Amino acid sequence: MIRPVHLVLIAGVMALASVSAAAEVHVLARGDLRIEIEVNSDRLFESFGPRFDRTAVVRSVTVDGVEFLGPWGLPDEFGLYGDGVLGYKQAAVGEHFLKIGAGRLIRDTEAGYHFAHPYPVDRVFPVEVTAGDGVLTVVQQSEGDGPWQYRYAKSYQLNGANGLEIHYELSNSGSLAWTFEHYNHHWFRVADVPVGPGYRVVTGFELPLAQTGLQLGPFSLEIPGPLAPGEAYYYASELAEVPAHANHFELQVSDEAAVSYRGEFPPRRFAVYADANGFCPEVFFRAALEPGETARWFGTYRFDRMETQTGDH
């Protein structure tokens, strides 16, 4: 029997006090599934700077007490390679640009945009939070008088006994057209099984050849051996004409299905990053928005009960 849905608010902590509100943690739970979502989250700031969407981050997913995420959770990012970092190219050094979900940043270098650069934060835009029955929604509206403006909404919804949907809505509320790219950085690390041999992703679309240290098959990528301290693997490729119905993957750990993902949009790029913190299959969405236009897309996750516990590996 499925137990009733519970939504819990836990006291958070203050981070980036000069520019941001205190963090809040909300819990969506049903049966053995428990999902913790941190709102106004600065938990990744110290390690990654103002790179990731801070409006909300899934920080923990457990099924029957088994954790499915590494320490960085499931954060979103817009404009990994600059597509959707609004106004950066037009900004002179010392002027502002917008990173969707992160806020208004300051260009402090002549170099092109780079996701790993610690751009100074001028302003973090407020986040409006609505908590319902098995649903949590966050909304952020950019502020200022420049031509680059957006309205961003994200909704987390429980789906059945073991599912989570994340719905996205992004509107161009400014006066200039722009494009953007979005993905969720899936830091999966299941049941404390160290990331290494046994971690494998199987995709619903064919994987193009690309340089990688991962073992690459036509529809799969896996770690070939134990990770040395500090070692990481990466694979990335553009995808051409993959239909929305093929946009799915399954994460397997020690030959067991762990997480199934389905994106309701045509994927434009696929990547896998793997280090000790997580095994990260990443599906990218792209769109172009004229002033007044809105893009909507979503993904669904299924978390499978792991029969094999840590001590059995």
Quickly list H helices, 33-144.
45-48
- Biggest CA–CA distance in the chain, Å, is 59
Look up residue 92 and give its amino acid.
Answer: A
Neighbours of 251 (CB within 10 A): 24
Q: Which tokens in the block code for residue 245?
A: 């119905």
Half-sphere exposure of 212 (CA within 13 A, CB side): 22
Whole-angstrom distance, CA of residue 72 vs CA of residue 57: 9
Asked if pLDDT for residue 238 goes beyond 60, the answer is yes
Side chain identity at residue 52, one-letter code: F
What average pLDDT does this structure show over 73-88? 98
* pLDDT band (50, 70, 90) for residue 21: low
Q: CB-based burial of residue 145 (10 Å sphere; 0-12 exposed, 13-18 middle, 19+ buried)? A: exposed
Exposed / middle / buried, residue 161 (Cβ in 10 Å: 0-12, 13-18, 19+): middle
pLDDT reading at 297 higher than 90: yes
Percentage of residues of the chain with pLDDT beyond 90: 85
* Residue 12 confidence (pLDDT) above 70: no
pLDDT above 60 (res 268): yes
Banded pLDDT at 278 (limits 50, 70, 90):
very high
For 79, other C-beta atoms within 10 Å of its C-beta total: 23
From 172-186, 210-224, 294-308, the region with the lowest mean pLDDT: 294-308
Alpha-carbon span 112 to 115, nearest angstrom: 10
Domain ranges of the chain: 6-312
106 has pLDDT over 60: yes
Instruction: Quote the pLDDT of residue 305.
Output: 81
* Joined tokens for residue 283: 């599906």
Q: How many CA atoms lie within 13 A of 125 on its CB side?
A: 25
CA distance 168 to 156: 9
Alpha-helix runs per DSSP H in the chain: 45-48
pLDDT band at 239 (very low <50, low <70, confident <90, very high): very high
Beta-bridged to residue 135, according to DSSP, are 157
Express each pLDDT in 178-203 by its tens digit.
999 999 999 999 997 999 999 999 99
Please, what's the b/e burial string for 266-276 (b: 16 or more CB within 10 A of its CB; e: otherwise)? Answer: bbbbbbbbbbb
Mean per-residue pLDDT of the chain = 91
CATH architecture of 6-312: Distorted Sandwich (2.70)
User: Quick check: 286 and 180 in contact, CB under 8 A?
Assistant: yes
pLDDT tens sequence across 83-94: 999 999 999 999
Instruction: Let me know if 210 is exposed, middle or buried by CB neighbors in 10 A (0-12, 13-18, 19+).
Output: middle
